[in-house]
């Protein structure tokens, strides 16, 4: 049993050393874990010494595996409650991969199945995208679990959970010292079962409790509507399979509804946590046209480039476009926003995006060890915009910012990638240290709760309150010249008086 598990651990360590984007220490150097290394266990329970013909790096690696194997045996023999070897191996892999960066991880059978389900559009739970933040002093694999974004049309979104919320309890159990995967498992369960989620929210004097009913989560990746008679609004909630095709279908339906007289397109990527790279590349191609570099992925030894095809066509015909982002827009959302901004195809509006500029590759362990159904997820590359700038820890800076009229402050509070524990540094050199894009103007609508009655239904949220960020985008598309040149914009819809300020 130990011999089999040790061989698997060595192989996983080799994958992490060879493929990881970050390489702290000798263990993760390209030569430190050769695939030819064989480790055996003697009858006494100790690992046999390495052959004398090994290189110094191989000897060092083998010695570390010897220490690990003996500690594992000692724990199994001496612990008051004998742990299963398989669980000990899973815990070891979680610690090893979690130490690489904030996104690398070991995925057990259940987590791997759930990950696959999330990208095909259906999985069970309450509909939350979450991340874990570690602070100095936290035990490995623990820390505050924070909401990145609630998924549209799910129990969490309907109940009012928000990006930035910290989950403190699930039912009556504190989760502040639990691992992310344990918290996710507590949130998930059989459809129609109930779960109580307690969160800490910035600005709220007391913890907030939400009683949720679990359901099968169908990712409604695209929702759309016509605002007035001339503005197409399309929201993308997650970059799942077919996201680009669904956006195109929604656009053409709105175009037909408007009798071909659209004045602009709003692509809403707020609180979109990302998803599949291919979907991001396909969506960008649909607006950029042929032969445009969309994003490059740079690993240790190679660079891959995603480029729009030679026959790609902007099916909007170059229609004026606003892309909305905020601190919950991450990964694939930032690839699209960054590419459209670099080519000046769209105006980016909102607040700074999350800054997740890394690529995770999932390796099914069943490919290397027949019968296994678990996997490992390793950060293998970093994303770079067409301009050559890395997104990592920096994100996308909007061309036009947003001030919440109720809070009188810019945007909403979000935790960024740069603030996560164990995050990878931004690799931009000195010549690219400063973002050339500046938020030169800020939209701050007049706040008047009594003015909602005359507003276009297309700019109202489900609870009937105005979505002022959408309204800013509408005013920009309809009156760009005045919006960019005047500090006071004449409102075209009752209840809105957008103002621009230069910081």
Catalytic positions are 331, 342, 356
Token pair recorded at residue 438: 């500046």
**3-state DSSP percent of the chain in helix, strand and coil, to 5:** 30, 25, 45
The Cα 179–Cα 174 span in angstroms is 12
CA–CA separation, 390 and 392 (whole Å): 5
Residue 408 region by backbone torsions, left for phi larger than 0, else alpha for psi between -120 and 50, else beta:
left
- What is the helix (H) or strand (E) element at residue 306, kind and residue range? strand 303-307
- Closest-CA residue to 332 (of 364, 358, 309): 358
- What are 323's strand-pairing partners? 267, 348
Q: Which residues pair with 384 in a beta bridge?
A: 296, 390
Q: What is the largest CA-CA distance in the chain?
A: 84
User: Which of 392, 411, 391 lies closest to 401, judged by CA?
Assistant: 411
* Tokens 């969309």, residue located: 294
For residue 37, which of 71, 64, 72, 1 has the smallest C-alpha distance? 64
- Residue 259 has phi, psi (to 5 degrees) of 55, 35
């Amino acid at each position: 049993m130990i011999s089999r598990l040790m061989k698997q651990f060595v192989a996983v360590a080799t994958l992490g050393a060879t493929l990881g984007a970050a390489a702290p220490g000798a263990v993760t150097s390209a030569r430190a874990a050769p695939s030819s290394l064989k480790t055996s266990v003697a009858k006494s329970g100790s690992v046999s010494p390495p052959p004398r013909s090994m290189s110094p790096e191989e000897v060092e690696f083998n010695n570390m595996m010897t220490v690990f194997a003996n500690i594992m045996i000692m724990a199994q023999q001496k612990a008051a409650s004998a742990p299963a070897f398989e669980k000990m191996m899973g815990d070891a892999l979680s610690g090893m991969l979690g130490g690489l960066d904030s996104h690398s991880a070991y995925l057990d059978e259940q987590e791997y199945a759930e990950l696959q389900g999330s990208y095909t559009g259906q999985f069970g739970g309450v509909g939350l995208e979450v991340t874990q933040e570690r602070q100095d002093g936290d035990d490995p694999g623990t820390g505050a679990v924070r909401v990145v974004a609630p998924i549209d049309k799910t129990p969490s979104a309907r109940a009012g959970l928000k990006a930035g919320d910290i989950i403190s309890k699930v039912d009556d159990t504190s989760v502040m010292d639990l691992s992310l995967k344990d918290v996710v498992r507590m949130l998930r369960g059989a459809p129609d079962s109930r779960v109580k989620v307690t969160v800490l929210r910035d600005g709220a004097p007391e913890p907030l409790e939400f009683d949720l009913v679990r359901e099968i989560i169908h990712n409604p990746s695209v929702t759309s509507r016509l605002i007035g008679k001339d503005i197409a609004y399309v929201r993308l909630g997650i970059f799942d399979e077919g996201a680009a095709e669904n956006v195109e279908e929604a656009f053409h339906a709105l175009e037909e509804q408007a009798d071909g007289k659209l004045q602009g397109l709003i692509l809403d990527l707020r609180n979109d946590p990302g998803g599949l790279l291919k979907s991001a590349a396909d969506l960008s191609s649909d607006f950029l046209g042929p032969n445009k570099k969309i994003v490059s992925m740079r690993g240790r030894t190679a660079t891959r480039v995603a480029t729009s095809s030679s026959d790609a066509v902007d099916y909007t015909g170059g229609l004026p476009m606003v892309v909305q982002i905020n601190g919950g827009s991450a990964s694939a959302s930032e690839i699209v926003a960054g590419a459209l901004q670099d080519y000046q195809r769209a105006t980016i509006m909102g607040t700074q995006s999350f800054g997740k500029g890394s690529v995770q590759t999932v390796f099914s362990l069943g490919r290397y060890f027949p019968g296994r159904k678990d996997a490992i997820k390793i950060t293998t590359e970093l994303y770079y915009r067409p301009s050559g700038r890395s997104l990592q820890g920096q994100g996308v800076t909007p061309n036009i910012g947003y001030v919440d009229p109720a809070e009188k402050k810019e945007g909403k509070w979000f935790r960024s990638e740069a603030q996560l524990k164990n995050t990878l540094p931004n690799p931009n050199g000195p010549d690219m240290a400063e973002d050339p894009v500046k938020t030169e103007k800020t939209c701050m609508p007049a706040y008047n709760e009594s003015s909602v009655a005359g507003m276009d239904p297309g700019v109202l949220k489900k609870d009937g309150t105005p979505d002022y960020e959408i309204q800013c985008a509408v005013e920009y598309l309809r009156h760009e010249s005045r919006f960019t040149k005047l500090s006071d914009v004449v409102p075209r819809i009752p209840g809105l008086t957008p103002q621009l300020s230069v910081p």
